[in-house]
Amino acid sequence: MDVQEFQSRLESLEADAVDRLAEAETEDEIIKVKNAFLGRNGEVQELMGILRELPDEDKPVAGRAANGCKEAIQEAYEDRLEALEAEQLRRQIAEEAVDVTLPARRPDPASPHPVTRTMRELTDVFVDMGFGVADGPEVEEDFYNFEALNFPKDHPARDMQDTFKMVDGRVLRTHTTPLQVRSLLAYEPPVRLVAPGRVYRCDSDLTHSPVFHQVDGFLVDHDITFSDLKGTLNHFADEVFGEETPVRFRPSFFPFTEPSAEVDIGCIFCEGAGCRVCGDTGWLEILGAGMVDPNVFESVGVDPEVYSGFAFGMGVERVAMLKYGIDDIRLLYDNDVRFLRQF
């Protein structure tokens, strides 16, 4: 082989390498093609063996040609790799591109549970009338839950409350009425507060849950009368159930109020005509109320000759069930989002 042939062999190797690199589709293929030419047993390397057999005077020319060929293939290899990367990036961008004409994915915002929402709504009606909000422990002393509220020891009224008792003698509060006692021990009258919160009774059916919620409230000042109670609850009924909602008071008994009343509103479903929900009476029982019993004042050191007050208490679930037309209390606790999303 002479130097001309050597050079033309190099040229055709280079052309061949460039063609095959251009056809290689993946990084692996490109590397394989490069090694086939420049690798230790590659075609260019093979030709280098022949270089040694050329006449000495031709060696510098042949050597330069061989180096040029190696560099050209190396360069073609690097260009091809770069091009492949650019191509992959372009494809990735095209695939992941945001279609700005698609409707946006809506966020799935949380919203208050219907019981929470109702409890806040009931509380707010009284807050707007100037009542403060009181909070207390759910594991309660017998004194606050019963004793100071004029439940005599061993009185059947305690059994009526289906109390969960703790081994240490405390109870899970059966109502939020203990906040009346706690507040009157903490503050001098005048006091007007509502106590929203969770309460417990060993009771479970379509309309009763062992864990439920109440809003209790009371107002103590000089010269508070039953008409103050009526005016307050009339306004409350208008706010929660609509203007001119009829309200009636029926005599009842609670240990901590005297006199006591069950308070009904005109049935919001039949407007008094009588229906399944109100049991054909035209009325829905909505809360208990009365004038604070003098014995309660005595047990918290407030002089019943100087002060008087009214009190009331209601179940939040009952109001929520009436407002939203829910007939099974367990729906409120199943945490089925298909149910909860409706509110």
CB of 289 to ligand DAH, least distance (A): 5
Nearest to ligand DAH of 151, 241 (CB atom): 151
CB of 337 to ligand DAH, least distance (A): 31
**Of 21-29, 36-44, 107-115, 286-294: span binding ligand DAH (CB under 6 A):** 286-294
Q: Is 340 exposed, middle or buried (0-12, 13-18, 19+ CB in 10 A)?
A: middle
Secondary structure (3-state) at 29: helix
Element of type H or E holding 232:
helix 226-241
**Of 46-54, 87-95, 282-290, 299-307: span binding ligand DAH (CB under 6 A):** 282-290
**CA atoms of 84 and 106, how far apart (whole Å):** 38
CB of 282 to ligand DAH, least distance (A): 23
Q: Which of 140, 216, 264, 317 binds ligand DAH (CB under 6 A)?
A: 216
Provide the 10 A C-beta neighbour count for residue 256: 26
Is residue 45 within 8 Å of 39, Cβ to Cβ? Answer: yes
Question: Residues 6 or more apart from 243 whose CB is under 8 A from it?
Answer: none
Q: Which of 6, 254, 283, 307 binds ligand DAH (CB under 6 A)?
A: 254
Under the criterion CB under 6 A, does residue 311 sit at the interface with ligand DAH?
yes
The first and second tokens of residue 250, run together, are 């029926």
CB of 302 to ligand DAH, least distance (A): 16
CB of 320 to ligand DAH, least distance (A): 16
Under the criterion CB under 6 A, does residue 317 sit at the interface with ligand DAH?
no
Under the criterion CB under 6 A, does residue 175 sit at the interface with ligand DAH?
yes
Closest CA to 287 of 260, 262, 268: 262
Closest CA to 32 of 43, 21, 22, 45: 21
C-alpha distances out from residue 117 to 123, 128, 323, Å? 10, 16, 12
**CA atoms of 127 and 123, how far apart (whole Å):** 6
Question: Residues 6 or more apart from 29 whose CB is under 8 A from it?
Answer: none
Size of the site for ligand DAH (CB under 6 A): 11
Provide the 10 A C-beta neighbour count for residue 71: 11
Under the criterion CB under 6 A, does residue 316 sit at the interface with ligand DAH?
no
**CA atoms of 199 and 216, how far apart (whole Å):** 11
**Of 7-15, 72-80, 87-95, 287-295: span binding ligand DAH (CB under 6 A):** 287-295
Q: Which of 7, 145, 163, 257 binds ligand DAH (CB under 6 A)?
A: 257
Q: Which of 312, 322, 326, 332 binds ligand DAH (CB under 6 A)?
A: 312
CB of 342 to ligand DAH, least distance (A): 28
CB of 291 to ligand DAH, least distance (A): 8
Residues making contact with ligand DAH (CB under 6 A): 175, 177, 216, 254, 257, 288-290, 311-313
